[in-house]
């Protein structure tokens, strides 16, 4: 019988908290059992092992990304929201990578929904279907690389990191023929040198 007050949802909430606070690599069933106040075998009443746990976190990560970008009207806004989500939820973001999305239908569906929003923004700004796919890949690569370097402390020089992100985003969008990112520091040219 499951421990009173402990539910599948509660177990995953605790797993998410561990991943966001200490990194996805710190999440294992032993740490999770300790955070839940149970012994490791008791977790199996709520979760089917580490693959199930990672798949659920991947689904939550992509659902969070979709919610973050869904309210943005432009590609630039969506890119900023994607980065913000990654900064605010590093564990969920780390789980939301392809190696985890193949484990369950829900994770795959959540990934497709998040990417559909990004593709929609690109198409709304005039890109055709194939160009939107290539642009989405480029944007995700820029955001992911930037976030990973930022998380690892890889930007130690004095220039503001947010300005570097805006400049990289502006360069990519210009290369895609989408102009400067509206609503950001580079939109009015004030941050350009």
Token pair for 177: 């023929």
- How many angstroms separate the CA atoms of 99 and 171, rounded? 29
Specify the pLDDT at position 193.
28
CATH code, domain with 95:
1.10.357.10
Domain count, the chain: 1
- How many angstroms separate the CA atoms of 9 and 36, rounded? 12
In a domain, 145, yes or no: yes
Specify the pLDDT at position 182.
56
- How many angstroms separate the CA atoms of 38 and 1, rounded? 12
- How many angstroms separate the CA atoms of 127 and 98, rounded? 25
In a domain, 183, yes or no: no
Token pair for 117: 């929003």
In a domain, 20, yes or no: no
Specify the pLDDT at position 62.
94
State pLDDT tens for residues 119-173.
999 999 999 999 999 999 999 999 999 999 999 999 999 999 999 999 999 999 9
- How many angstroms separate the CA atoms of 74 and 145, rounded? 21
Alpha-carbon distances, residue 59 vs 1, 75, 97, 150, 187 (angstroms): 27, 22, 10, 24, 34
Among 48, 50, 43, smallest CA distance to 6 is for 43
In a domain, 22, yes or no: no
Cβ partners under 8 Å of residue 16, min gap 6: 57, 60, 89, 91, 92
Specify the pLDDT at position 49.
87
In a domain, 17, yes or no: no
If pLDDT is split at 50, 70 and 90, which confidence band does 102 have? low
Residue 6 has pLDDT above 80, yes or no: yes
Ranking 32-36, 123-127, 180-184 by mean pLDDT, the lowest is 180-184
- The C-alpha angle with vertex 148 and arms to 135 and 186, in degrees rounded to 5, equals 55
Residue 180 has pLDDT above 90, yes or no: no
Give the max Cα distance, the chain. 65
State pLDDT tens for residues 58-81.
999 999 999 999 989 999 999 999
In a domain, 95, yes or no: yes
In a domain, 76, yes or no: yes
Specify the pLDDT at position 187.
42
State pLDDT tens for residues 84-93.
999 999 999 9
What distance lies between CA 187 and its chain's CA centroid?
Answer: 25
- How many angstroms separate the CA atoms of 30 and 34, rounded? 6
Contact 75, 173 (CB under 8 A): yes
* Domain hosting residue 125, numbered range: 48-175
Specify the pLDDT at position 192.
35
In a domain, 104, yes or no: yes
Q: Say what percent of the chain tops pLDDT 90.
A: 70
């Amino acid at each position: 019988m499951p421990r009173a007050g402990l539910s599948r949802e509660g177990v995953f909430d605790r797993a998410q908290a561990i991943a966001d606070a200490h990194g996805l690599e710190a999440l294992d069933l032993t740490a999770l059992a300790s955070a839940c106040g149970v012994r490791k075998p008791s977790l199996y009443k709520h979760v089917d092992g580490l693959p199930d746990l990672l798949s659920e976190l991947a689904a939550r990560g992509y659902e969070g990304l979709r919610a973050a970008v869904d309210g943005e009207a432009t590609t630039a806004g969506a890119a900023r929201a994607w980065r913000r989500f990654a900064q605010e939820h590093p564990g969920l973001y780390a789980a939301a990578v392809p190696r985890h999305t193949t484990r369950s239908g829900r994770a795959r569906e959540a990934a497709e929904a998040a990417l559909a929003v990004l593709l929609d923004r690109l198409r709304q700004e005039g890109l055709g279907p194939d160009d939107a796919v290539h642009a989405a890949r480029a944007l995700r690569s820029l955001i992911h690389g930037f976030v990973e370097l930022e998380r690892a402390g890889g930007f130690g020089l004095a220039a503001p990191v947010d300005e570097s992100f805006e400049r990289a985003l502006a360069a990519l969008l210009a290369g895609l023929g989408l102009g400067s990112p509206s609503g950001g520091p580079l939109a009015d040219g004030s941050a350009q040198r």
